[in-house]
Structure 1
Amino acid sequence: MTNLAIYTSLAGGALIGISAALLLWATGRIAGISNIAGNLFAASSGERWWRALFLLGLIGGAGIYYVVAGHAPAAREHFPPWLLAVAGLLVGFGTSLANGCTSGHGVCGIGRLSTRSFVATLLFLSTGIVTALVVRHLFKVF
């Protein structure tokens, strides 16, 4: 890992923590992306504005990175699109099953010392590790 990657990772983590804390402080809501995105259109008009702004901030942050860095983050070469689609569906299923995602449980839940979030995050990470091993060694996708 290069020094630049370390600094950008630290900056990204700090920005995620700050945005989660600001959202909790300003609205009393947890920054769980799956819940924010999943309820964007089902929410009342009073709830819809902050959800839309938060999601636009995620997209805008990627745009700012692109402008500052001069390039988009590297895409996974040689990664089959069908596998990405299957992965996306499985992530959606897991998010629904766990009543939240890594941002909700891993960032906000652990920050609130939630036992449920500790267990969910442990399961997310261990499943991710096993999945990476299977994809790399069984499917030979790097």
Structure 2
Amino acid sequence: MHEYALAFCGGVLLGIATISYLYSVGKIAGVSGLIAQMLTPKSWFSTPAFWFLLGLIVMPFVYHQFLDLPVEVKASPWVLMLSGLLVGVGTRLGSGCTSGHGICGLSRLSTRSFVAVGCFMACAFLTVLVTRYLLGG
């Protein structure tokens, strides 16, 4: 399957999942919000957030089994942990994560999400400019 078709299918599945979660549970499917729900549950297995997050973790492995596409992570474990920590701090400062603002917030026409996504994208463009072109990476 062409890589653009895979991306399109992934986007469609993301849209279906977030809409389904919103209409069945009544909450937005931003990952930081789902994790926050998991920190104070009565029983993890009875919360819809648990099952949604489990699907996010398990499905890449299922996908890999059926399509046998290689997944290569070039960063060291320390870089991955530092990146996760910085993303977590940014999530708290930005009142939500990129998935929450980009997928759920924009679809609800949230002004805060439009500003947040603009900031995310500007930082991403700047990072690519610096790392690939100015530092020669």
> Into which bin does the TM-score normalised by the smaller protein fall?
0.7 to 0.9
**Which residue is 2:62 aligned to?**
64
- 1:85 Cα shift? 3.1
Q: TM-score, normalised by structure 1?
A: 0.83
**Which residue is 1:88 aligned to?**
84
Question: What does the per-residue CA deviation read over 1:46-73, in whole Å, with 9 as the maximum and x for residues that have no partner?
Answer: 8952111001111222122111111443
| Equivalent position amino acid for 2:39 in 1 | F
| Equivalent position amino acid for 1:89 in 2 | L
**Which residue is 2:21 aligned to?**
23
Contact in 1 for aligned 2:64/2:70 (Cα 8 Å): yes
Unaligned runs of 5+ in 2: none
Contact in 2 for aligned 1:40/1:48 (Cα 8 Å): no
**Which residue is 1:130 aligned to?**
126
Higher mean C-alpha displacement, 44-53 vs 93-102: 44-53
| Dislocated runs of 4+, deviation >4 Å | 137-141
C-alpha spacing 1:13/1:36, structure 2 compared with 1 (3 Å): same
Alignment of 1:110-129 (within 5 A): 110-129=106-125
| Equivalent position amino acid for 2:117 in 1 | T
C-alpha spacing 1:133/1:38, structure 2 compared with 1 (3 Å): farther
Distance 1:92 1:137 in 2: 28
Distance 1:30 1:50 in 2: 12
Contact in 1 for aligned 2:30/2:104 (Cα 8 Å): yes
CA-based RMSD: 2.2
Contact in 1 for aligned 2:45/2:51 (Cα 8 Å): no
Of 2, 5, 11, 1:4 maps to 2
- 1:76 Cα shift? 3.9
C-alpha spacing 1:108/1:47, structure 2 compared with 1 (3 Å): farther
- 1:10 Cα shift? 0.4
Contact in 2 for aligned 1:106/1:117 (Cα 8 Å): yes
Distance 2:132 2:84 in 1: 17
- 1:45 Cα shift? 3.4
- Partner of 2:29, secondary structure, is coil
Distance 1:39 1:72 in 2: 33
Q: What fraction of aligned residue pairs are identical, expressed as a percent?
A: 39
